Amino acid sequence: MEKKKEEFFKGDGEVQKTVHQSIEVRLQNLTKEFTDKFGKITVAVNDFSVVIPAGKLIGLLGPSGCGKSTTLYLIAGLLKPTAGSIYFGDEDVTNMPPEKRGIGLVFQNYALYPHMTVRQNIMFPLENIKMPKLEALALAQEMAELVHIGDLMDRKPNQLSGGQQQRVAIARALVKKPRVLLLDEPLSNLDARLRLQTREEIRRIQRETGITTIFVTHDQEEAMSISDEIVVMNLGLKQQMDRPQSVYEEPINMFVAKFLGNPPINIFEANLKGGQLVMKDGEVVARGFTQEDQEVFVGLRPEYLRVSEKGEITAKIDLVEHIGRDTMILCIIEGYDHLIRAIVPNDRQFHVGETVKFNCSKLFVFNGENGERYR
Ligand SMILES: Nc1ncnc2c1ncn2[C@@H]1O[C@H](COP(=O)(O)OP(=O)(O)OP(=O)(O)O)[C@@H](O)[C@H]1O
Ligand SMILES: [Mg+2]
């Protein structure tokens, strides 16, 4: 499936068009193994299949070493897969050299040429393809304006802030009108405020161009905030792909539930007995399960705990933290030796040592062995 999007209408009567293509990217049973000099094999990407819809921004999210960069380099063609295929639209690009694939790549460290001006940096990919100078100049200017650095064209990289340098890198990645834009942790060198600003910029640029974009990050909040859909990855394996809110609210397993959420989800052991979910102190917190009796893990997001006189969970407050609009309390619950977090409304005071009761508006139950979620 391929669609085209026309963008960019300039003032003074003249209409300039930049046509960016939107294309579906399909990874089919993609596997990448590395063998070190002792013959030890690392499976960096393991039988990974996803369909990335044309024109969408997908966040590829997972802990360090889970295979995110490797996946990106496979899509870019910088690495060859051990097995599996990559399609751009209907075209099998698995064995196509990187320069033919039509990808734009942005790394964590901007990798700008320090001795070149911003203009020369952005134009560099066009010189490689021998585009006529005037055309290349116009295109570079257009891309610079798209990323809002049009007035910095004569500066050298060391005269720019980190966020501005990253925009130059993005403009350079866009200048050849790639079919796919690949971003590998593009914000991790920026301070908190610039990170926020630049990620909004990336979102805007992606929307304006409609280029299918894959954004790699290990930062769940970043992925949640800018992605149309996120793919959660662990140990080279795809865990789940869905809209950010769906992954958060309906995690497929305990890994995903724990990886998303700040403050993190509370996890504790419990038992399924006769279809009831029984806590260690004997309280029944949920009913209606069809699974056989077994030990399970319960996942409770801090905001799913509600203070209530008739709550089933009894807890003693250990710490009270005011976090902006909300209050977070850390409590010890009966029958357990670890703390749980609850986000509570600010309309009443909570004190250390006080006993409170909670009920839960929602909870997750995970298989005690493989962490799969029961629904
Ligand atoms: N060239 C290589 N040779 C051997 N092993 C490699 C090579 N590149 C990556 N690996 C291994 O493959 C696994 C995945 O690495 P990758 O760089 O894809 O992880 P990542 O998810 O990008 O991590 P990070 O968030 O730290 O960047 C890791 O175990 C890594 O050590
Ligand atoms: Mg990486």
Distance between CA atoms of residues 65 and 124, nearest Å: 32
- Structure tokens, 123: 């134009």
5, 98, 122, 170, 261 from 187: Cα distances, Å: 27, 24, 19, 11, 20
pLDDT at 260: 95
Tens-binned pLDDT, residue by residue, of the chain (375 aa): 444 444 443 444 344 556 667 899 999 999 999 999 999 999 999 999 999 999 999 999 999 999 999 999 999 999 999 999 999 999 999 999 999 999 999 988 778 999 999 999 999 999 888 889 999 999 999 999 988 899 999 999 999 988 889 899 999 999 988 999 999 998 887 888 888 888 898 999 899 999 999 999 999 999 999 999 999 999 999 999 999 999 999 999 999 999 999 899 999 999 999 999 999 888 898 999 999 999 999 999 999 999 998 888 899 999 999 887 789 999 998 888 888 999 998 888 899 999 999 988 899 999 999 999 998
**Ligand 1 pocket by Cβ (under 6 Å):** 34, 36, 42, 44, 62, 64-70, 218
- 2-102+178-257 and 266-374 have identical folds: no
CA 302 to chain centre: 22
**Centroid of ligand 2 to alpha carbon of 161 (angstroms):** 23
Q: Would you tell me how many other CB atoms lie within 10 Å of the CB of residue 282?
A: 9
With contact defined as beta carbons under 8 Å apart, do 55 and 210 qualify?
A: yes
pLDDT at 176: 87
Closest of 273, 201, 331, 347 to residue 213, by C-alpha: 201
> For residue 53, what are the contacts with CB-CB under 8 A and spacing of at least 6?
24, 212, 228
Q: Is the full-model pTM beyond 0.75?
A: yes
Which residue minimizes the CA distance to atom 2 of ligand 1? 34
Which atom of ligand 1 is least distant from the CA of 185? Answer: 27
Which residue minimizes the CA distance to atom 7 of ligand 1? 34
pLDDT at 19: 62
**Centroid of ligand 2 to alpha carbon of 80 (angstroms):** 17
Which residue minimizes the CA distance to atom 22 of ligand 1? 69
Q: What is the β-pairing status of strands 237-242 and 229-234?
A: antiparallel
**Centroid of ligand 2 to alpha carbon of 65 (angstroms):** 7
Which residue minimizes the CA distance to atom 27 of ligand 1? 64
pLDDT at 14: 44
Which atom of ligand 1 is least distant from the CA of 233? Answer: 21
Looking at domain 2-102+178-257, its CATH architecture is: 3-Layer(aba) Sandwich (3.40)
Distance between CA atoms of residues 315 and 357, nearest Å: 6
Candidates 2.40.50.140, 3.40.930.10, 3.40.470.10, 1.10.10.10; CATH matching 266-374: 2.40.50.140
Partners of residue 238 on adjacent β-strands: 233
- Break the chain into its structural domains and give their ranges: 2-102+178-257, 266-374
